[in-house]
Amino acid sequence: MSAFMQVAENTSPDSDLWITMEGWDGTVYQTSIPLQQASPTTVAWLKKQGATP
């Protein structure tokens, strides 16, 4: 399974990534993880763009 998301240049590097999924039976699952954990490369890019927490 994979996913694609767009991140705005002014996103704070300390943001959380919220994930919502729906199972085949209609059950909804939600969780969040720090963007730093999900994609350290994206956080490095945001810091290079000048985004601040």
pTM beyond 0.85: the answer is: no
44 found inside a domain: yes
Which residues constitute the domain of residue 36? 16-50
> Does residue 40 belong to any structural domain of this protein?
yes
- Structural domains of the chain, count: 1
Phi, psi angle pair for 41, to nearest 5°: -65, -40
Q: What would the pLDDT profile of 2-50 be if each residue is shown by its tens digit?
A: 778 899 989 999 999 999 999 999 999 999 999 999 999 999 999 998 8
Please report whether residue 42 resides in a domain: yes
Residues 49, 28: Cα–Cα separation, whole Å: 35
Query: How high is the pLDDT of residue 20?
Result: 93
Residue at token pair 């590097």: 13
Q: 5 in a domain, yes or no?
A: no
pLDDT at residue 51 in the model = 66
So what's the pLDDT on residue 53?
64
Residue 9 domain-assigned (yes or no): no
